[in-house]
Amino acid sequence: MSRSHERQTGRGVELSSEGLNRSLSNRQIQMLAIGGVIGVGLFYGAGLSVRLAGPAVIIDFAVCGLLVAIVMRALAEMTIEHPLSGSFGIFAKEYLGERVSFITTWMWWFYWVATVMSELAAIGKLVQYWVPPFPAWIPGLIALFLFIGTNLLSVRIFGEVEYWFSALKVLAVVIFMVFGALIVTTGVFNGGHALGFINLWNHGGFAPNGFLGIAMAISLTVQAYSGIETLGVEAGETENPERNMRRAFRTVVWRIGVLYIGSIFIMLCAFPWNYLTAHSGSPYVLLFDKIGIPFAAGVVNLIVIFSGLSSSNTGLYGGSRMMFSSARGGRYEKWVSKLNNRRVPYVAVWITGCAIALGIVITYLAPNNVYVWITSASAFADLWVWAIILISELVFRRKKNRLGQRLKYPLPFWPLTPILGLILVALSFISIFVSPLTRISVLSGVVFLVFLFVYHMATVRKTS
């Protein structure tokens, strides 16, 4: 694999061989990674997951958290050796072949397009917290134009905007955990009656809908964690990538694990699960309604909307950068990889933004069902990407071991760790398929895979 050749310009800006600015700082890339994950999938989708699995949804979040930790550690091993903007798409090309790389690149692009679609749909529903009759598609359309504009600015400005968006989201989760923990342990805001953990098994038991309920919630849980691999894509625009990416990979997984599993656990203890299912909207907003602070509930709802804007912002960034890297790799027309005077791949940004706009149309036609439909489809795409990352790491590590090369950040307990990750990916695929609610995501994913395979075959024959 060719290394990124970097140089200093007369203005002191470091560039990668792809022409992108290396201007994202350590604090920005860590918040970008967190911002890409903590989105509406946690703030809004958590309530839908609980409706399917009951308190047993904590199993889904714990298993998916373990899977994400393995995937990210495998990606870290390869990224720190080769900090390139194409990340796992380039690794797949090097170790698994051009066809797998092409399919993986576009599956991840499809994932981000679908994810941002679902985020924008949820934003519209969240705005209805204040104005119930307001059409759900209008806030998404406004948001789409806003973050297209943000992505067309310099990457440093994009990183700073995302940093503060992400900081707001982390603050909202922490505040929720503090107030929720007070209700559970002390009874404050609950008439002095400490709830303890009784809500975990009351109201029909820990798993009121059985194994099928746990399986049905997997796709929503996977989608809640999805996007964390964007951290690898950011390597191509990161200052001092070896040092900063090592720090980012080391801290982002446990931070997200604490925020996700911790907040979900507190939510399940603070509320009966069937109370959550009886109310639309975000469980995070419900908590402040319950303790009698409606103004605070409105503020949290606003932060949840900001979280959707944030992850959409990151999603457009990740999808456009993967498209840019693929075009630079010669897989389709070079004009897709054109940069503006701020060294931003503006054509890829606009193409990705226009694809996301289809979600606005779907939201207009089916505002009540769009979130679950699109979320389930995006989960399949990201599971594919996670599987390819793990398989690439196995081949990468075997090659390095055969050559006797020492790695800068080796994955521990190899090869057991990536094999365990692949088993968890396979179980997630099976769980999504057995669920009648989310089976469509598997079918749509397979259709898209077949399309990509046929397209690549036709393109290879045409150019050979």
Over residues 262-288, the pLDDT tens digits come to 888 888 888 788 877 666 556 677 777
pLDDT at position 282 is 66
All structural domains of the chain, each given as residue ranges with its CATH number in brackets, are 25-463 (1.20.1740.10)
DSSP bridge pairs for 15: 7, 21
| Four-residue CA torsion sign, 315, 316, 321, 324 | positive
Residue 136 pLDDT > 70? yes
pLDDT at position 16 is 43
User: Which residues, 6 or more positions from 73, have their beta carbon under 8 angstroms from its beta carbon?
Assistant: 249, 253, 411, 412, 417
Buried b (16+ CB within 10 A) or exposed e, 128-146: bbeeeeeebbebbbebbee
Crossing angle of helices 45-53 and 370-403, rounded to 10° = 90
- Which pLDDT band holds residue 17 (cuts at 50, 70, 90)? very low
Alpha-carbon span 231 to 238, nearest angstrom: 10
Residue 9 pLDDT > 50? no
Highest mean pLDDT: which of 175-189, 207-221, 380-394?
380-394
pLDDT > 90 in the chain, percent: 5
pLDDT at position 222 is 79
Q: Quick one: CA torsion of 301, 161, 219, 248, rounded to 10 degrees?
A: -130
Q: What is the pTM of this model?
A: 0.77
Least confident segment among 8-12, 88-92, 121-125: 8-12
Alpha-carbon span 457 to 464, nearest angstrom: 11
pLDDT at position 424 is 92
Over residues 32-46, the pLDDT tens digits come to 666 556 665 566 666
**DSSP letters for 75-93:** HHHHHHHS--TTTHHHHHH
> Mean per-residue pLDDT for 446-456?
85
Widest distance between CA atoms in the chain: 75
Alpha-carbon span 243 to 290, nearest angstrom: 45
Residue that has been written with the tokens 């399949």 in this structure: 380
Residue that has been written with the tokens 């706009």 in this structure: 357
- Which pLDDT band holds residue 24 (cuts at 50, 70, 90)? low
Over residues 379-397, the pLDDT tens digits come to 788 888 899 999 999 999 9
pLDDT > 70 in the chain, percent: 71
> Mean per-residue pLDDT for 130-140?
79
Please tell me which residue, 176 or 245, carries the higher pLDDT value.
176
Q: What is the H or E stretch that residue 445 is in?
A: helix 439-463
> Mean per-residue pLDDT for 398-415?
87
Please tell me which residue, 368 or 160, carries the higher pLDDT value.
160
> Mean per-residue pLDDT for 10-23?
42
pLDDT at position 237 is 56
- Which pLDDT band holds residue 311 (cuts at 50, 70, 90)? confident
> Mean per-residue pLDDT for 291-296?
68
Highest mean pLDDT: which of 141-155, 381-395, 422-436?
381-395
Is residue 45 within 8 Å of residue 267, measured between CB atoms? no
Question: Mean pLDDT across the chain, nearest whole number?
Answer: 75
pLDDT at position 421 is 94
> Mean per-residue pLDDT for 23-30?
59
